[in-house]
Chain A
Amino acid sequence: MAEKKIIDGRGSFCPGPLMELIGVLKMSQIGDELEVLSNDKGSAKDIPEWVRKVGHEYVSTREEAGVWHITVRKAK
């Protein structure tokens, strides 16, 4: 069954949150949803870009009190 995982990248800067996401993606199953928390504006833009480039599924981005929640689904 697909899992939902939270990756807390708050306090880090580009490309820290992306690298943390990739580390968790490698250990995840296809279909798992990963939500990255980041207060780095650059990562909020860069992570969806990376996800599209490498062929995972970008789900959503929302901002809440200065924290971006970027959700992606492992597709391969």
Chain B
Amino acid sequence: MAGEKICVVVVSGTRERLQMAAMVASVAAVSGIEVTIFLSMNAVPYFIKGASTDAPSEGNFGDLVVKKKAPDFKTLFRQAVELGDAKILPCSMALDIAGIETDTLEPYLGEPTGLASFLDAARDAQIWTF
């Protein structure tokens, strides 16, 4: 297990993908795997402090996730950081395009990161894309 690394790339803003990404990231992080989460595109706005987590569903399952009270995706991402030392890196390009200031983001997020740095972190890691 030592040295195992995964990178979770999250670009979707839909409930099912955010949920699955958060599940993979949190369980991996608490299982001794080094986890780096790269947030870009439609996933970013959910990580503005106080933003709604009411993500649209792609299908019936997204609604079931809410109805059955599965753990909220944002809670799982936060737990990945707090319990498993995962890093969540917002994409600097996405922040620039959307005009989002770093200090408006959740405090458990890391520094805005560009692709060159992310690709460096992703070297020798499994990549999971959502």
Contact = CB atoms under 8 A, between A and B. Distances in A.
Interface of A: 11-16, 18-19, 22-23, 26, 50, 53-54
B40 interface: no
Given A13-B71, A14-B23, A50 B76 contact: no
Q: Which applies to chain A's interface (DSSP): helix, strand, loop or mixed?
A: helix
Contacts of B31: 50, 53-54
Contact of A15 (B27, B32, B68, B69): B27
B76 A15 contact: yes
B116 interface: no
Task: State the 7 A-B residue pairs at the shortest beta-carbon distance, nearest first.
Answer: A16-B71, A13-B70, A19-B79, A22-B30, A22-B83, A15-B27, A53-B31
Interface of B: 1, 23, 26-27, 30-32, 68-71, 76, 79, 83
B30 A50 contact: yes
B32 A53 contact: yes
Contacts of A16: 70-71
B69 A12 contact: yes
A22 to B, nearest CB: 5
Nearest to A23: B83
Contact of A13 (B30, B32, B68, B79): B68
B83 A26 contact: yes
Nearest to B79: A19
